[in-house]
Amino acid sequence: MLRIISLSEAQTFVTRKTVRLAEAEAVVAPILDAVRKRGDEAVLEYARKFDGFEGASLLVPTAESRVSPAFHAALDTAAKNIREYAALQLPRERWVDFPDGRRLGYIVRPLESMGAYIPAGRYPLPSTLLMTVIPAQVAGVRTICVTSPHPSAEILAAANFLGVDNIFRIGGAQAMAALAFGTATVPKVDRIVGPGNIYVAAAKKLLAGEVGIDFVAGPTEIVIIAEDADPRYIAADMLAQAEHDVEASSILLTTSRSLAESVVLEVARQLETLPTAPVACEAIRNNSAVILCPSVDAAVEASNQLAPEHLAIYDASLLPMIQHAGSVFVGPSSPEAAGDYATGPNHVLPTSGAARIRGGLSAADFVKVISVQELTSSALQKLAPAIMTLARAEGLEAHARSVEVRLGE
């Protein structure tokens, strides 16, 4: 079922396929327009049509959800680690006084509001609530909203654990529109984050500019680079990714045919007892492969071309060669699932090659770094010739004169 192919045959995997959103955009555009114009009325209409919503209010009452003590303990462990790592990512204010009289620096200010989209379809994801809300809290965002079409008890427990009150039972494009435009019930936010289906992705793409977004996400993916490793570990990591979605992709890049064959056998063996096999099988069959590479350097080059969401490397010495990846997992004791839940780094990551231009969601996504400059009169006098020459070269005379007037010329 899992194919073994050569690198020369693997161009469909190594050349990143463009996420096709045009059809989804055509579907969601009228929804966005309706919510912009009619607010809650339109949101309720679409929530009833697409999400089976039957209530009168979109706001979910805050109440303690019944979950196990073990789940609460897991929340506590994961939240602590996510919060610690998020704090490391925040830019810090800085000032430098230069000898020529320039005092330059930047101040850091949080966004005022954010919205987190939490999937709740086949697999409700309370972990995503932790990953999206905690960095915003660390950054100091005051208004935090959560939308989810069918929030599970675990999602509600996670929200309660983090002290989030603005929880709305909305999904799809209507949730994105409500957060972007604001309604009588749903606050307008500065940035929307979190994964979703193709309609959520299409809505975020169309709303970018109206509201900040993290990125337009496609199907989840993992690339593994290994020459000598336990095939059980590799197979388990490939299946962990494949069970997410029938469009998910799991790729092993290796120089070893014996490892390739062992992983193929191990994937088949583990699928026999995997409860999520119907989904995983399809992802393994259609979107996954073991790719035989002529060298480790060729494997790394192929991985950098893919710019995968998740990258697992069994040899730490390869890390300096890695240019593009959403998150990197190093060594046999670092399964991707650890990063999904509890190590601390964020699991909201760029897909479909977007890791070429950015990393995963972080606390830095929820702040603005604002430049500040202060000049002494002496500093301005020294810079004046350059400023005025450049201003006049551009035909902007008032710019030049705004300096001249301060020099008494």
How far apart, in whole angstroms, are the C-alpha atoms of residue 315 and residue 295?
Answer: 14
Catalytic residue among 244, 310, 324, 347: 310
Handedness of CA 244, 249, 255, 260 (dihedral sign): positive
**324 flagged as catalytic:** no
Half-sphere exposure of 379 (CA within 13 A, CB side): 12
How far apart, in whole angstroms, are the C-alpha atoms of residue 406 and residue 409?
Answer: 8
Query: Where are the strands (E) in 174-227, listed by range?
Result: 191-193, 212-213, 221-225
Cβ 288 vs Cβ 253: under 8 Å: no
Angle between helices 257-271 and 277-287 (to 10 degrees): 150
**310 flagged as catalytic:** yes
Overall residue count recorded for the chain in this entry: 409
Question: Taking phi first (over 0 means left), then psi (-120 to 50 degrees means alpha), and beta for anything else, what does residue 7 get?
Answer: alpha
How far apart, in whole angstroms, are the C-alpha atoms of residue 310 and residue 340?
Answer: 10
How far apart, in whole angstroms, are the C-alpha atoms of residue 319 and residue 272?
Answer: 34
Catalytic residue among 154, 243, 309, 336: 309
How far apart, in whole angstroms, are the C-alpha atoms of residue 350 and residue 19?
Answer: 12
Q: Which residue has the tokens 């494949």?
A: 242
State the DSSP code for 83. Answer: H
Query: Which positions are catalytic?
Result: 309-310
